[in-house]
A and B are shown apart, each in its own frame.
Chain A
Amino acid sequence: MEKTVNQKAWFLVLPVLLLVAFSAVIPLMTVVNYAFQDTFGNNVFFWAGLTWFEELIESDRMWAALGRQAIFSAIILAIEVPLGIFVALNMPKKGFWASFCLVLMSLPLLIPWNVVGTIWQIFGRVDIGLLGYTLDKLGISYNYTQDFYAAWITVIVMDVWHWTSLVALLAYAGLQSIPDAYYQAAKIDQASRWNVFRYIELPKMAGVLMIAILLRFMDSFMIYTEPFVVTGGGPGNATTFLSIDLVKMALGQFDLGPAAAFSLMYFLVILLISWVFYTVMTNLDKREG
């Protein structure tokens, strides 16, 4: 659609601008201010210059957390996106069963994140949880509070359980917008199932899939509550992702300066990756349109 040039549209955007400025710009400025100073509490600050940034860049702690975070996000994207598409392809198109699936699939999305953590914390326990108990009876040693791999698998399965439905629902929305005529044409041409997917379904889903990937990437990159409840970042530091490390630093040890510097770098990384995603997405949109 051709848009009209109208500078007065700014007035319509103004409420959003003011609201988000209040809740984003002021705190962000504060974070920048903290990042360059040292404090012993009571709002007494000393200029620290680049000390915190230097310390963090040279510390293994941040790089390790960043590495774990990157691996985690990569793994869950690699599982959730194909699985979500696959589920969406298999969802009933209309009628009672379509609503039924929609309702059940939305359920994990609406559970508070600490409850998601609690559910899996209980579910995986060897003494009282169904999963842990079953695995234990099968003779598989499984203990997510002690074992590195068990902790990672639990956190990943939990995230797949929690968020695959979002990808599936978005992909399903994309599929719903494909007119029946397309499928009939494909049938006449005797297109294989794969070709239908590759040349009809995938291009139609491309837009929503980019949104799904963007959302999943952003949310997984800032995941905090769920793994914190389940593993507390352990065993050792095995599942200490960026946010967990940050909160430990900011609220636990009350190291305002380093925590703020950490926040800024964290934010910069997210900004960079999101910008790349967004640019790719809008360019794809343009090429299609």
Chain B
Amino acid sequence: MDELILKLKREIIDVLNLEEVSPEDIATDAPLFGEGLGLDSIDALELIVLMEKNYGIKLKDPTQGRDLFKSIRVMAEYIRENRTK
């Protein structure tokens, strides 16, 4: 799980071009949107693409993202349970 969390942090930094942020700066349980990393709706779209591209998880219901993108840990758990690649 820890390995997946670290990998996910690196992928998010890369896809969202978070130049000033390192994996250690992202708290695993901190909110991704609003506070924490302060991501917005366009970032949510990028994360949806990341989930499908890297883990084969297709989010059919956009409202799912609200719960899924709560924190890195929530994302990682969802990926572990639902990944197809």
Question: Does B bind A?
Answer: no
